[in-house]
Structure 1
Amino acid sequence: MRPTGSGGGAEPGSAPSPAPLSLLRRVVFGVAAGLVFVVLLGLGTWQVQRRTWKLDLIARVDARVHAPAVPAPGPAEWPRIGPDDAYRHVWLSGTFLHDRETLVQAVTERGGGFWVLTPLRRPDGSLVLVNRGFVPGANRDPATRQAGLVAGETRVTGLLRLTEPGGAFLRANDPKDGRWYSRDVAAIAAARGLTDVAPYFVDADATPNPGGLPVGGLTVIAFPNSHLVYALTWYGMALMLAGAVFYILRGGLAKDWVSKGREPFGG
């Protein structure tokens, strides 16, 4: 007869006990979870910082838009034009070169059509592209809006905009065929044979043009600001991870393993 005592041998047919790695597994799991927790907290904090930066940007742009109009930068200032100049409220005067206008495809609150970009020659001889506003497709031909082709000295007030090189999403500008999807100042100037052109353009305000076209004042100023949602998401994931780790290391799974006759984590 085989002894029935409580000696150390395993019963025939019983599964061997897992290797005693409980402490090692706990340490490895805890370190890995801790690293992920730190990364999630870092991502949440980064989004909080991005939100602060975005709110400051919105405030600065709003201040520029609603400030009194100042003269548009001249040639001496062009090398210093940068992001901090975007949406400055400016004015300029000169004579439009209507025979050099460029149509850029646009989708606005008025539907699809074109922006009319026309060079304005200033008294010093320099040129500034002015986005005079929107025209529907039926009025792309200047002959259909003859009254709006203002002659002689004129004054324009609007917002300074930075050039938009290349084109739009998945749609590259095609100067050769006259297809424009973005207001790329340098490319438009080259295609129209213009020199001494400002590195920016100006969106004209809503002052009505003779005949009603083009329609100005349609500049859309929008800065997506979902950083708070992203921050709460990352922080929430970090909190859930912390709860899961606590549950695994101190609670539920340990009970499940014990109920199956095994030590938790292979101990």
Structure 2
Amino acid sequence: MADPHVTLPPDGESPRSPHGRGPSHTALPDADTGGGRRPAVLICMAVVAVLLFVGFSALGTWQVQRRAWKLDLIARVEQRVHAPAQPAPGPQRWPAMTADSDEYRHVSLTGRYDYGKETLTQASTELGSGYWVITPLLRDDGTTVLINRGFVPGDQRGGIEHPEAAARDGVTVTGLLRISEPGGGFLRHNDPAGNRWYSRDVQAIAAARGLSDTAPYFVDAQAPAVNANAQAARGAAPDTWPRAGMTVIAFHNSHLVYAITWYALALMVAGAAFYTVREERRRQRTRRP
């Protein structure tokens, strides 16, 4: 049954509404809006851009601060290494010792070597792979300090020298204080039961060798001074092992590169945001009649 309120037009004409206001279909918005983005999308993009810019800038600033700390550390270590040797820290200082305040300090100490409890730990040096020779030094106050007497190649471990005088009469050792290296090396753990050592872990070595009152650090012995006449007298004499004075002091310092990278990323985000805003304004101008 036909709607009594709708007047059917002649063929070919559009039906009109009952109030005579033109065709009864609903007008659809123009699909061509000039390609502009919705405000919600622009707001989300702005928030993400701000967060990224702030985050990258903060990381860059943090790397600048880390670089300043690292340069200060290097300067302090250089000062310690070249300072006159001081007595090695005694038991009263042990609890307060840290790597930042004490590592690479130039120290000296006197005692008697206990060769019977010597330990070889794996080493990789400019002379190749081999072992560090770690020998306990028994001090007159009853404490023990582990001394890294130097490097020996793997095929020369049977030729390690053990001067009797250093065990009988005592010896004064001068070198660099080092902090214990617990655990082991990269992907390899120390195995005290199998006598396989991949790091200079003072506590573990002391426990395995039955040493008491052992300092929480070890000392890298420095190479003895040899004058020109003594060197000439030795001539082509065979190398003696262990070889002391092979401590490598190097700090990884790439903080400036990291800082530049983070700041560059922050600038890229800012540039992308500027480009997006400019393009959006251009689209808005294009849409205007």
What is the letter of the counterpart of residue 145 of structure 1?
I
Q: 1:215/1:2 Cα in 2 relative to 1: closer, same or farther (>3 Å)?
A: farther
Give the TM-score taking structure 1 as reference length. Answer: 0.85
CA distance in 2, matches of 1:2, 1:29: 49
Give the match for residue 87 of structure 2.
71
| 1:229 has 2:244 as partner | no
Q: Which has the larger radius of gyration?
A: 2
Give the TM-score taking structure 2 as reference length. Answer: 0.79
Give the match for residue 163 of structure 1.
180
User: How much does 1:28 deviate?
Assistant: 1.9
CA distance in 1, matches of 2:178, 2:47: 50
Give the match for residue 274 of structure 2.
246
User: How much does 1:138 deviate?
Assistant: 1.5
Deviation track 1:19-43 (CA, whole Å, cap 9, x = no partner) reads 9862222222112111111111111
Deviation track 1:113-167 (CA, whole Å, cap 9, x = no partner) reads 00000000112121100000000112223xx234656433111100000001110
CA distance in 2, matches of 1:186, 1:176: 14
SS in 1 for 2:76: helix
Question: Is the CA contact 2:103–2:177 (under 8 Å) kept in the aligned structure 1?
Answer: yes
SS in 2 for 1:229: helix
| 1:173 has 2:201 as partner | no
Give the match for residue 51 of structure 1.
67
CA distance in 1, matches of 2:32, 2:27: 11
1:215-226 to 2 correspondences below 5 Å:
215-226=243-254
2:242 maps to which of 188, 191, 214: 214
CA distance in 1, matches of 2:239, 2:141: 29
Question: Is the CA contact 1:163–1:184 (under 8 Å) kept in the aligned structure 2?
Answer: yes
User: How much does 1:16 deviate?
Assistant: 7.8
Range that drifts further, 28-37 or 83-92: 28-37
Give the match for residue 81 of structure 1.
97
Q: 1:59/1:146 Cα in 2 relative to 1: closer, same or farther (>3 Å)?
A: closer
Q: 1:118/1:2 Cα in 2 relative to 1: closer, same or farther (>3 Å)?
A: farther
Aligned residue-pair number: 250
Q: 1:32/1:211 Cα in 2 relative to 1: closer, same or farther (>3 Å)?
A: closer
1:18-167 to 2 correspondences below 5 Å:
22-83=38-99, 84-141=101-158, 144-146=159-161, 148=163, 150-151=166-167, 152-167=169-184
**Cα RMSD between the aligned structures?**
2.8
Deviation track 1:210-256 (CA, whole Å, cap 9, x = no partner) reads 962110111111111101100100100111111111112213x776x
Structure 1 gaps, min length 5: none
CA distance in 1, matches of 2:105, 2:244: 16
